[in-house]
Structure 1
């Protein structure tokens, strides 16, 4: 169930019937996802007490003041607390929705939906809501090109130096600007891109773990299993069983 944002959430709590309906939905087992200032309505139910949450940066202090038991994080795009989720502004609501599609149905479908939306297929929930200082537009375009270049070469040995040379900037500048743009260091991003590609191959092919590890640049099945578990909390085999239906 999605809870949309609304105006002036810092002035008064939502009507009692709304709060009761949200609590009843939670008790039925529904997952509640608040977009932007919808976090205030979710917080009014008490379901965010003791949990991390976020909202639009303009209202984070108001949310913390109005609901002091909520652990408000103003520096993220969205927060997944399992049965309750919150996002920052409307655009990061799309990131949250894609996160849910990815979590429930796999990275392949999530990427397909992102393409249909003309949206970034993956932005980290931990990415800052806004860049603290401006990034020149030409540099952003260069970095987008470099990311595309890297995605086509994940099976190769990619280093920070390789990426920086392609972007035609120093490694130090590349690292700093890359973190601002994506929320990850360059090599963290490459690792997650490799794991994402492995996820898609597990979903859409019958290749073995060793073959997939080589194709995505992680070398060995053991290395793939290690990073897969660290990032996703599961094994490649368990992941494949989850997303590949019997008879496919």
Structure 2
């Protein structure tokens, strides 16, 4: 991990965004299947997990997260990198830092206020929300994300990131205004922006985006099938999934 992070911080190295993505993924649990609202911002499982050789995977994830925290200053510096993919992957890595701290949250929010790339705006909101959840500051993050998605003057990427983050911070049913916000944000530009957000998996499956939002807005962790007709008979994303 230190080797990957030091390479990513070197501007002469190629594919720094992929090095950061690899480091960030090592510091998270494996994703199996589609993720619902209870799992999307979950960095690691609370119960012990073992790999196929019997190795305790939780320990390796914790060690990787500690390594990210030790290099947090370097990663915070990468949030200002001229390459937007490097900025986005640096935020993705910082969200998994252990132990975390307010300095990381402050840096992510400061970058969000200056960021104009929609993909990065979505990712930065999710990074702040995930980091807040790890710091047990869920109530604060919940109110912050509500303020963002309910404000039509906010950039579309910021609002969509908040729409995704809000249900992942609570078990409360999503308010109708949040579902309306999803409809408002159903544009080809936001569809394209979502495809490069590290948290947004499985968007390339048939009718993937509608199914992804359906699962996200309705907790199916108990194995129940997601409800149909989240938006009545209209699918605001249907014409985007050709």
TM over 0.5: no
Q: Name the structure, 1 or 2, with higher relative contact order (CA <8 Å, separation 6+).
A: 2
Q: Radius of gyration: which is bigger?
A: 1
Q: How high is the TM-score relative to the length of structure 1?
A: 0.29
Tell me the TM-score normalized by structure 2. 0.30
Compare the two structures and name the one with the higher strand fraction.
1
